[in-house]
Structures are given as structure tokens and as C-alpha cells.
Chains A and B, each alone.
Chain A
Amino acid sequence: MSNDNARRGFSGVSRRTVLKAAGAGAVLSAAGLPSRLFAQEPLKVAAIYTVPFEQQWVSRLHKAANAAKDRGEIEYVATENVANNDYERVMREYAEAGNKLILGEVFGVEDAARSVAADYPDVAFLMGSSFKPDPALPNFSTFDNYIQDASYLSGLVAGAMTKSKNIGMVGGYPIPEVNRLMNAFMAGVKEVAPDTKFQVAFIGSWFDPPKAKETAFAQIDAGADLMYAERFGVSDAAKERKVLAVGNVIDTQADYPDTVVVSALWHFEPTLAKAIAEVKAGTFKAEDYGVYSFMKEGGCSLSPLGTFEGKVPEETMKLVADKEKAIKDGSFTVEINDAEPKSS
């Protein structure tokens, strides 16, 4: 019976490409395991993403979870590309399959996700969300990419590298996750070059690299000599027109060695490590995990300069080092500003 259930649950998911081997292993072992997990046993973790694994934001979660799996800390299954209207069903399937920690992103399904969590009080949910956790729902915690510290530092570099003092920024949608990083980046730029002009545009899509590229071309035509690459496609335009770019969330310098100066990187590892520890200790509760993306927690960092080593002015890198130190010891805080950034 339990095997039938498990198989049915799994087949519903597999349509959308599960990590098959891991999934099958997890489901099969569910039947044989005692219900109470011992601390040394790997924790059963499932993740549900609304976009493909390749999407920048999700790729950071997937990477951290796979690393934890490789270390033997967790068993990990994941489903990608789940439509929002299907999200609740997949959450329930994973909860029914005996997973103890469920990761995901509920930006578009806040209410539904929280009602699922209420139905499975023994399962811990750690969800990317624009809202705060609710103490009345103790098994539902939230997180997000609060990497404004790293974005600010990348802005310092950008301010020194733009010669035309004109920076182009192409985003998907002006939602808090995007806005706060853009605002922190702009604050960093203004620190170094106060009179910089910003061109801000949103393309109204997460996945339209040709459109992002066209928008970037338009900004470069209008004088931008450095692009803030929030979307795929922007760095490609910068590369073709031989202007610079600053990366965001992931490090793409390997693909654009002469274009991407530096990137603000997100590390999901501290967030996940904290959640795994709490669940294993039985102390998981409703908390805002956003702080584990802060620089002082190791949740974000400025990428190494790599191919741009020696090309960024020394005093700028000294300023970056000083600010990084101040951020880490708490004497300087980067403002969290979720308002929609505007062109200037």
C-alpha cells in the first residue's frame, strides 16, 4: 500500500523531470525506514521550483542542496518548472512522501503554500517569499536573496569602471528581490561616482534573453558603458558592443572574460545549513532566514576580479575591502530598499 502510494506520488511528479535516481531512491527507502529519523541519518529534503534549474536564483538553491547531498547530510529530490497553479499539489505529494524539509519559492502562491504547511505540521517548510513568517504557523519559514551587501560592493567597482558615468540596468520585473539588489548596487555606484546617470528598464519576463539583449543594446546606444546584468542576455549585448558588465547572483565571468568585471554572488549554503541543523535538532520554527544571505553570515560575497585583476583602480579595491570589513563587523549596514528603481 505504502509502495503504491509512493509510486503514484512519484509518477505525478516525474512528468516534469525529477532527478530520477535520487527520487526513486528516496521514495523506495521511505517504505523501509523507521518513522523517526536518527540524527546521523541523512535528512529527506525535497525542493519545488517554478522555473528550470538553470534560472539564476534557483540554481543557487539547487547547488547548495546538491552539495549537502554529496556530503551525505541529506537525501535530495527536486522538481523544476512547476506552474504556480500546480504548486500546492506538488508540495502535498512531497509532504506525503515523507520528506522532512521542503524547499521552494512561493512568491506567487503564498496563501496556498501556507495552507499546505498548516496541514503537515511535522514537515518543515523553508520557502523563498516576499513576506514574513507567521508565528502561528511554526513549521513555515521564509528566506530570500538578501545579498544587498555584495550588490553594494559590486556597485563600488562599477562606479570606478564606468567612464561615461552612464550605467544601464535591465531587470525582469520590479519585485522586491530585484529592486533591493538594484538599489544597493546604485547606492554603491553613487558612493564612488555621485553624478552617474542610470538607465533602468524592465522587460516584463524572466525568460526572454533576446528581449533583454535588445533592451541592453538600446541602453548602450543611449550612452551606457557598463551594464548591470540582472537577466541572461544583457552580458551578451555588452560583450558584442565591447562595454563592461557587472554580474548578479551567479558568476558568469568564465563565459564573458572581457566583459564581466565582477559579480555579486549569492550563497544559499548558510541558509540551508541552518535549516538542516534546526530540523535535525527538532527545533525548527517560524523564522526569517533572510539574514543568512547577509555577508556577515557568508550568504553573499563579491566574486574575485579574475580576468579584471589589476584593471580596477587600487584605491577602489581598498575601499571595497574597507567596506566589506565594516559590513562584516557591523559598523556599516547597507540599506535594504525594496522600492522600484527609476532611471535618472
Chain B
Amino acid sequence: MTEALEILFTASFWVAAIRIASPLIFATMGELICERAGVLNLGIEGIMTVGAFAGWFTVYSGGDLWTGVLVAALSGAAFGLLHGTLTVPLGLSQHVVGIGITLLATSLTYFTYRLALPEVTSPPKIEPFQPLPIPGLSKIPILGEALFSQTPLTYLAFLTVAIVAWVLYRTPLGLAVRAAGENPTAVEAQGISVSGIRIGAVMAGSALMAVGGAFLTMSAFNSFFFEMINGRGWICIALVVFGSWRPGKALLGAILFAAFDAYQVRLQQLTGGIVPYQIFLMMPYLLSILALVLVARRATYPKALMIPYQKGER
């Protein structure tokens, strides 16, 4: 039992938790932006797949790592534009469009992958982002090591949270985005295009989701596999609710979920095979549901979420 608790005080555990959280942070921020503007983006799983492939393939084809991140973001934004066009001006069901985008993006990625690499015995590798310890800060026991001995993409993930929070709460643009998700008529009354704000938010959010996917192929690992997103996108949808649509709380949620995940793989080794491994794999999800029940009860969702806005309609 003490061994199980000791794990929580090791630096390697927290380093792993932050590493596992990084792709979730990007994608959760992406989903959060979409939903704050009033659009549920269920294309997240597919858009992450696109980003994972696009970023990795750019580097594999000779681009540098940051170009890869940019390409991933742009390809995510392209799918965001498609999603936004269908759901905002055309007002189609956001559920159906989102799932459609996920299926389309995933299949298109696999198709492109196979056209580009028809005959490979194992997926080619790239040289991924390497850990970049911040001098001084990374020497602080546990917390410093966990936060400041990561790859540049992880630092970017935390920076993204700060930027998203600042833009949403401290800028006129953020006000317009939040209003588009709460009371689009008020946005229109200000002479701002609700459609423009919403499509822009979906594009920006989708770009972040794609970077989250790219983290898996360019930082956590070094090659692209079919199905490697493995449900992480759906987790991020839950994390947005967990965070009550607030960037800071959503960040905490992502780290909490990742910590549960890092904890379960370590606990699995302690029990000597008495407890079935499935119990451990379930644990992060079970604990997240529990946390969701406790934390999200008072959550207030954006009032105009999933409600299409037609100009002039009452």
C-alpha cells in the first residue's frame, strides 16, 4: 500500500502525467473554443488523426519539426472550415456533421498514407521533438522536473491555455466568441457576423485539435499508425464539460485524467497479477466520471451551444 502512495511522490510519475496530458490539452482547448462559440465539434477524433499524419508526414518528407506543426494546424483548420460551413451557415445537425467529419478525415488520412507509402514493412520514423529542460527550473524537485523537462510542444500546450484564456476573457474578440455561444442575436446587434465568428472559432479550434494529434507522432512517438488516436478526442469532449467550458479548469481536468492514466500503468505492476488488468485500464475513465459528477454539477454550458443561428430569425 505504501508503495502505491510512493509512486505519487516520484518525479517520473509526474513527468509521465504531463507528457500524457499534452495532446489532450491542445485538443481540449480546441474543442473549448468551438463550443464557446456555440458549435459542438465531434470531428475532433478525425481532425486529430489528420494532424497526426500531416505533421509527421511533413517532417518525413524533409520539412523541419515546426513546419510540421504548422502544416498539421493548417490541415486541421481546413477540416474546421468544412465543419463550420456545414454547421453554421447551412445549420446542419452538429452531431451528424461532426461524426461525418471524423469518418471522412480518418479515412482520407489512411488513404493518403497508403498512396504515399504503398509498400513499407514498418512505418518510417522521424526524429521527433526532444525534451528541452529549462535551465534552473527543471531542477526543482518533482514539480519543476514534471513541468520543465518536457519537449517544446508541451510548453506550447501550456502557452496555448494561457493564450486561449487571455483571448476569451480579455479581448473584444473573445467577448464576441463567448457571446456567439451565449446570445448570438446580441453579437449581430453589434454589427459582428455570428457566422464569421463561429466559423473562425471552429477553424482555430480544429487547428489546435490537429496539433494535439501531431503531438502523438512528433513528440510522444516518432511514427504514424492507423487508429493511434485511440479515442483521445472523445476524452477531450468530456474534459471540456469537466472544465465547465473554462480553459484553466479544463487544463486541470486534462492533467488529472493523464495522472490517473500514468498511475494505473504503475499500479498494474504492483498487484502481482491478482487484479485483472482491465480494472486498471478502466480506472482513468471511472475516476473521470466520478470527478465529472462532483465537479460538473454546477457547470453552465453555453446557452446557444448546438443551436444554429439564422440572421433575422426569431
Q: List residues of chain A with CB under 8 Å of any chain B CB.
A: 17, 19, 51-54, 59, 63, 80-81, 174, 199-211, 213-215, 217-219, 221-222, 232-233, 236, 250, 252, 255, 341-344
Contact = CB atoms under 8 A, between A and B. Distances in A.
Contacts, number: 104
Given A208-B230, A218-B16, A63 B265 contact: no
B272 A214 contact: no
B281 interface: yes
B155 interface: no
Nearest to B23: A210
**From DSSP, what is the main secondary structure of chain A's interface residues?**
loop
Given A209-B225, A210-B228, 11 more contacts: A17-B115, A54-B122, A201-B277, A211-B230, A213-B221, A215-B265, A218-B269, A221-B12, A232-B122, A233-B221, A343-B272
Contacts of B83: none
Nearest to A208: B230
Contact of A204 (B122, B220, B269, B278): B278
Contacts of B265: 201, 214-215, 218
A199 B269 contact: yes
Given A81-B110, A201-B265, A209-B228, A342 B216 contact: no
Most buried by A among B118, B120, B121, B223: B121
A17 B111 contact: yes
B273 interface: yes
A306 B115 CA distance: 33
Contacts of A19: 118
A19 B114 CA distance: 10
A213 B115 CA distance: 28
B114 A252 contact: no
Contact of A343 (B20, B226, B227, B271): B271
Contacts of B278: 204
A342 B273 contact: yes
Contacts of B120: 53-54
Nearest to B120: A54
Interface in B153-210: none
A232 B73 CA distance: 26
Nearest to A224: B269
A26 B53 CA distance: 32
Given A210-B220, A221-B12, A202 B228 contact: no
Contacts of A209: 221, 223, 225, 228
Interface residues of B, number: 40
A81 B226 contact: yes
A334 to B, nearest CB: 22
16 contacts: A17-B111, A17-B115, A17-B118, A52-B225, A53-B119, A53-B120, A63-B121, A201-B265, A201-B268, A205-B227, A208-B228, A208-B230, A213-B221, A255-B125, A341-B273, A343-B271
Most buried by A among B10, B125, B272: B272
Given A210-B220, A222-B266, A203 B281 contact: yes
Contacts of B274: 342
B269 A342 contact: no
Nearest to A170: B265
Contacts of A201: 265, 268-269, 277
B12 A217 contact: yes
Contacts of B111: 17
A323 B269 CA distance: 31
Interface in B214-241: 216, 220-223, 225-228, 230
Nearest to A255: B125
A275 to B, nearest CB: 22
B27 interface: no
B262 interface: yes
B107 to A, nearest CB: 8
B277 A214 contact: no
B221 A210 contact: yes
Interface string B102-141: 0000000011001100111111010000000000000000
Interface string B233-256: 000000000000000000000000
A221 B10 contact: yes
Most buried by A among B16, B216, B227, B277: B277
B277 A174 contact: yes
Contacts of B114: 17, 80
A52 B125 contact: no
A149 B20 CA distance: 37
A195 B223 CA distance: 37
A84 to B, nearest CB: 14
Contact of A213 (B220, B226, B227): B220
B286 to A, nearest CB: 14
B272 A342 contact: yes
Contacts of A211: 230
B294 to A, nearest CB: 26
A93 B261 CA distance: 43
Contacts of A199: 269
Contacts of A210: 216, 220-221, 228
Nearest to B227: A207
A311 to B, nearest CB: 24
Most buried by B among A200, A206, A208: A208
B125 A219 contact: no
